Amino acid sequence: TDLPSLIRALPKAELHLHIEGSLEPEQMFELAARNNVALPYDSVEDIRAAYRFNNLQEFLDIYYQGMSVLLTKQDFHDLTYAYLKRVHADNCRHVEIFFDPQGHTERGVAFSDAIEGIFDGLEQGKKDFGISSHLILSFLRHLSEEEAFETLEQAEPYIDRILAVGLDSSELGHPPSKFERVYAKAREKGLKSFAHAGEEGPPEYVYEALDLLKVDRIDHGNRALEDDALVERLVAENKYLTVCPLSNLKLCVVDDLKNHPLKTMLNKGLKATVNSDDPSYFGGYLNDNYLRTAEALHLTKDDIVTLVKNGFDGAYLTAERKAELM
């Protein structure tokens, strides 16, 4: 079989996906109408035309605006279910998704409505599509550590159903060190710890994520490649990197997919995985990320098999699920 057929046919996992970033323009309009929310766009085409970004912050401004249509538990259910339906078509069998509770509680949405709606959507997706899942609670790093502590407190009733904490939003100027204490508390509660690091931020932020946040996984990690000792350490410690090629292209982390570091990461022995990040905003779901990167970087079948395997190995699958899938 050819490479695109192999990519489409293989069962896969997705480990780096912001559920709010899967909100498609059509659904944004539908929810805006249902909830009587005014949008600064006249049409779906108008929305898509606005998705041109020079950096992470330009994207984030549009992303926080987009999530303003999410108000009820039903909205969060519908959002989550639509994502699972879409990646089911990509042969995705397991997902570990982020949500940004502070993006909602800041607007007056109850933490409980957001998280319970997402859980309901995940459960329905498991029933209808057989997709297993975990939820990751992500802190907005442009907000204070105090606010992150409040968010962790709100998660207490759901703590056994949350896999990990994450750290996202504006990276530059908001180093991992800002969240050292709240991560320690999250780990005491039994949560894993993940953090976006080295997307726009320097290698120093990746060191901080390892040393201070004691992360189990690095989200992105591109700029770790600037530091050979850091690369060696990530390899030695078997840290998985959740890499997002089309995101990197849209946010100008790379100027061309041909210059994407994914193949270099594999060559250096790093445990890279392929993911879509915010597929509605970045122009592609899981298979699109594999397909376009495979073409641009001339990936081989072995590379694809390695990347797909890394996705399952880097995931937190239960023993039974692992036996089913691998």
What residues line the site for ligand ES4 (CB under 6 A)? Answer: 18, 21, 56, 63, 168-169, 196, 199, 247, 277-278
Position among 75, 100, 113, 277 found at the interface with Zn ion (CB under 5 A):
277
Q: Which does 73 bind (CB under 5 to 8 A by kind): ligand ES4, Zn ion, none?
A: none
Q: CA-CA distance, 56 to 66, in Å (whole number)? A: 15
Phi, psi for residue 191 in degrees, rounded to 5: -80, 145
Compare residues 96 and 278 and give the one whose CB is closer to ligand ES4. Answer: 278
Q: CA-CA distance, 66 to 266, in Å (whole number)? A: 35
Structural contact between residues 276 and 289, judged by C-beta atoms closer than 8 angstroms = yes
Compare residues 71 and 166 and give the one whose CB is closer to Zn ion. Answer: 166
Does the footprint of Zn ion cover residue 100 (CB under 5 A)?
no
- Eight-state DSSP code of residue 253: S
Helix (H, G, I), strand (E, B) or coil at 126: helix
| Closest approach of ligand ES4 to the CB of residue 195, in Å | 10
Q: Which does 14 bind (CB under 5 to 8 A by kind): ligand ES4, Zn ion, none?
A: none
H helices of 89-222, where? 101-105, 111-129, 145-154, 180-188, 203-211
Structural contact between residues 38 and 68, judged by C-beta atoms closer than 8 angstroms = no
Compare residues 51 and 63 and give the one whose CB is closer to ligand ES4. Answer: 63
313 carries a ligand binding annotation: no
220 carries a ligand binding annotation: no
298 carries a ligand binding annotation: no
- Eight-state DSSP code of residue 155: T
Among the listed ranges 7-15, 35-43, 226-234, 275-283, the one in contact with Zn ion (CB under 5 A) is 275-283
| Closest approach of ligand ES4 to the CB of residue 192, in Å | 18
Whether 199 is catalytic is yes
Compare residues 11 and 283 and give the one whose CB is closer to ligand ES4. Answer: 283
Please identify which of the residues 171, 199, 200, 208 carries the catalytic annotation. Answer: 199
Number of Cβ within a 10 Å radius of residue 263: 17
Torsion of the alpha carbons at 227, 229, 230 and 233, rounded to the nearest 10 = 160
**Residue whose C-beta lies closest to Zn ion:** 277
Q: Which H or E run contains 148?
A: helix 145-154
Contacts of 164 (CB under 8 A, 6+ apart): 96, 134, 136, 137, 191, 192, 193, 194, 216, 217, 316
16 carries a ligand binding annotation: yes
Helix (H, G, I), strand (E, B) or coil at 91: coil
Q: Which does 56 bind (CB under 5 to 8 A by kind): ligand ES4, Zn ion, none?
A: ligand ES4
Among the listed ranges 35-43, 152-160, 270-278, 314-322, the one in contact with Zn ion (CB under 5 A) is 270-278
Does the footprint of Zn ion cover residue 216 (CB under 5 A)?
no
Q: Which residues are annotated as a binding site for Zn(2+)?
A: 16, 18, 196, 277
Contact footprint for Zn ion (CB under 5 A): 277
Q: Which residues are catalytic?
A: 199
